[in-house]
Structure 1
Amino acid sequence: MTKRKTEIAPMQDYGFFGPGSVTWKVWGSASSAVTGLQRAVVIEELDPGLIAAVDATGANYDRPRTRYDRTIRYFAMVAFADSRSVSKAADVLVKVHSKAIGTEPVSGSPYDANDPGSQLWILLTGWHSVLTAYEMYGGGRLTREEENRYWEECAIAAEFQTCDPADVPRTSEGVREYFEKMRPRLAVSEAARRMMDHLLNAKVVLPPTPPIARPLVGLMNRVLRAGCIATMPRWMRRLSGFDQPRFVDLLVRPILRFGYARIERDPRVKLAVLRRLAPSAVPVVAPYALGIPPQSDEVLTPAQARARYGYDKPADAHHTLRAKQRERVFGRHLAPSDEGLIESQAILGNLS
């Protein structure tokens, strides 16, 4: 066993999916952490309430690396971490989102990151984007049976957010219907377009690059940007204002398929790439990537985990804190407190 393997702690159990799940197959691809989640965070900004929440914090501009790192760590935890860790992360995420409330400046409507509709949008854009990237640049098309299993497993992941698992479509057709239903509610403000352009720039999440490597990083950035845009349907590109010729879509596909295939050949290379992009996710992904078995081969349901560890459903959690935040923001017109955000660092990674 290599020295690096001995430094990686095995998980307590297989969490909520485990070997043989479509979640492990799809989310374990290198295309997921790069193009998949880049696509997800870009598309998310089409929701007016969400962009208002994100723009108000300024975190994507002030600390894009840590924001991306924490996002990848959370999604990786849901897919690969043990049941106790995921349950704890889901609980603290409600506290983090309790801070993301306010008034959407265009419509004047209130927004709340813990709103079930907002959380369903985040969940489905994430899982759909990862699957889209996987099928286009990673392992290829899933079978119809695998697709249906994937969305059934997505409904399990929904139990770690405030949305209702019953609202998660269980087929690809249902997911397409969901996005069609959302189309009239989506919009692109100046803030959204600026944020989307910012998030399409992969360089913002990379550590400082030596001058000699900057031309190569610049080229990689252009390829990743084009690859992300190529995954988006035409109507979404037109709405966003980020389109490109069809020949660019066709050209970038074999380039990214080749690049991701090279990464997939060696788990050590995959972890090295992840360590550069999202170092806090490495301890979560490494046991899966290196085949290190957990202490127990249990696969739990979210209900079993809540009963075992004493957590509430996210939709029912921390109402006192959420009410206090609403009173601060809407009653006293103060900024929300950072207590959930500070607490989350031990679970989701540092803020700086």
Structure 2
Amino acid sequence: MTTTPVEPMLDHGFFGPGSVTWKVWGHVTAAVTGLQRSVVVEELDPALIAAVDQTGANYARPRTRYDRTVRYFAMVAFADSRKVAQAADVLVKVHAKAIGVEPVSGNHYDANDPHSQLWILLTGWHSVLKAYELYGGGRLTPAEEDRYWEECAVAAEFQTCDPAGVPRTRDGVREYFERMRPRLAVSEAARKMMDHLLTAKVVLPPAPRLLTPALWLVNWFLRAGTIATMPRWMRKLSGFTQPRLVDLLVRPVLRLGYGVVDGNPRLKLAVARLLAPSAVPIIAPYVLGVPPVSDEILTPAEARRRYGYDKPADAHRDIRAKQHQRVFADGQAPSDDGLLESQAVLGSLS
């Protein structure tokens, strides 16, 4: 059997060896429990669930949606500066489609809104860290955690949110979620979506009927493991009831399973190829230790100057204005142009 050659990155991107981002996001817990928790918690924001529910992508093509999500986050963490800058630019066009009227409040929502983007960023980075702490490498040192949130602020520059709004400490992150609590809600659509996203089977490829019991068991542990990372107030809001005994039961099982996979680079890539194939070319150089062409580590501002991209907050204002005109003035559905264009960068939609 031939092995596809691993193409090296052009540079180390924005973090590189020795970064806490590589340590945490490089663990197999990130792409499974971390991102599953992230997309579930995201739905607590009424504006975001309206955007997600309107597209229907999580129901129509859940594996594709998951694959593209893993690829994007993997790119920010591990890809070279050119790839990340391009992905950040095209993501603004993708989110330009996700606009409309939130049905509960009647307010307009826009996925490019800085507050929505900060919520997506922080739920992602916080969820990946929680999964790593419980089922991966354990608790970071205080200095590592402070550095982790400093690096999260770097990642904020690839979305429309303000990096200054990123908390830099564990207490700061906790305070952010406390401030958000009064704005969170669980509608019928949100509850249905969260339950759907907690089903690992939606991101697994079709399997023989013979494997059904095994898949049920895997799904049970992954679902319980994700719920176990959520604080009690969040579970209560979401309608998740899970005894503390189950929280304790799943921890050693998932730590063992993730540890086996994470300790074997080839197995790690095989699991990635099964769950999120488009992310494999992004993470393979990191997993296999393939050095980049250059040892450079850039800042987002340096990358924008080098490759000619605008800040995401300022990018494609004409496209975003046209989408607002189509939806809010003309009563039409938003254009799919940005979504279709994104396939070359974020992966296929089919």
TM interval, shorter chain, is over 0.9
Aligned to 2:228: 230
SS at match of 1:187: coil
SS at match of 2:100: strand
> Take 2:209 and 2:15, find their aligned partners in 1: how far apart are those partners?
43
Task: Report the alpha carbon displacement of residue 226 of structure 1 after superposing the two structures with TM.
Answer: 0.2
SS at match of 1:236: helix
Aligned to 2:296: 298
Task: Report the alpha carbon displacement of residue 3 of structure 1 after superposing the two structures with TM.
Answer: 5.5
Aligned to 2:172: 174
How many residues are paired up? 350
CA RMSD of aligned residues (A): 0.8
Task: Report the alpha carbon displacement of residue 211 of structure 1 after superposing the two structures with TM.
Answer: 1.3
> Take 1:160 and 1:106, find their aligned partners in 2: how far apart are those partners?
30
> Take 2:247 and 2:164, find their aligned partners in 1: how far apart are those partners?
35
Note the residue ranges of structure 1 that are not aligned, 5 or more in a row: none
SS at match of 1:316: coil
> Take 1:125 and 1:101, find their aligned partners in 2: how far apart are those partners?
21
Aligned to 1:139: 137
Aligned to 1:261: 259
Note the residue ranges of structure 2 that are not aligned, 5 or more in a row: none
Aligned to 1:7: 5
Counterpart residue identity of residue 50, structure 2: A
> Take 1:51 and 1:264, find their aligned partners in 2: how far apart are those partners?
32
Counterpart residue identity of residue 344, structure 1: S
Counterpart residue identity of residue 144, structure 1: P
SS at match of 2:109: strand
Aligned to 2:24: 26
Task: Report the alpha carbon displacement of residue 7 of structure 1 after superposing the two structures with TM.
Answer: 1.1
Deviations 1:227-266 (A, max 9, x none): 0000000000000001200000000000000000000121
> Take 2:295 and 2:263, find their aligned partners in 1: how far apart are those partners?
26
Aligned to 1:188: 186
> Take 2:24 and 2:195, find their aligned partners in 1: how far apart are those partners?
26
> Take 2:90 and 2:109, find their aligned partners in 1: how far apart are those partners?
20
SS at match of 1:220: helix
Aligned to 1:158: 156
SS at match of 2:217: helix
Aligned to 2:240: 242
Deviations 1:104-151 (A, max 9, x none): 000000000000000000000000000000000000010000000000
Counterpart residue identity of residue 21, structure 1: S
Deviations 1:54-101 (A, max 9, x none): 000000000000000000000000000000000000000000000000
SS at match of 2:313: helix
Task: Report the alpha carbon displacement of residue 35 of structure 1 after superposing the two structures with TM.
Answer: 0.1
Aligned to 2:104: 106
Deviations 1:12-63 (A, max 9, x none): 0000000000000000000010000000000000000000000000000000
Among residues 46, 60, 63, which one is paired with 1:62 in the alignment? 60
The share of aligned pairs that are identical, in percent, is 76
Aligned to 1:329: 327
> Take 2:163 and 2:127, find their aligned partners in 1: how far apart are those partners?
19
Aligned to 2:202: 204
> Take 1:265 and 1:57, find their aligned partners in 2: how far apart are those partners?
38
Among residues 34, 37, 44, which one is paired with 1:36 in the alignment? 34
TM-score (norm 1): 0.99
Deviations 1:300-349 (A, max 9, x none): 00000000000000000000000000000000000000010000000000
> Take 2:43 and 2:270, find their aligned partners in 1: how far apart are those partners?
29
SS at match of 1:307: helix
**4+ aligned runs moved over 4 Å, structure 1:** none
Among residues 78, 88, 101, which one is paired with 1:90 in the alignment? 88
Counterpart residue identity of residue 96, structure 1: V
SS at match of 1:76: helix
> Take 1:193 and 1:209, find their aligned partners in 2: how far apart are those partners?
27
> Take 1:167 and 1:11, find their aligned partners in 2: how far apart are those partners?
30
Query: Residue 345 in 1 paired to residue 343 in 2?
Result: yes
Among residues 71, 74, 95, which one is paired with 2:72 in the alignment? 74
> Take 2:173 and 2:316, find their aligned partners in 1: how far apart are those partners?
30
> Take 2:293 and 2:89, find their aligned partners in 1: how far apart are those partners?
23
> Take 2:307 and 2:42, find their aligned partners in 1: how far apart are those partners?
31
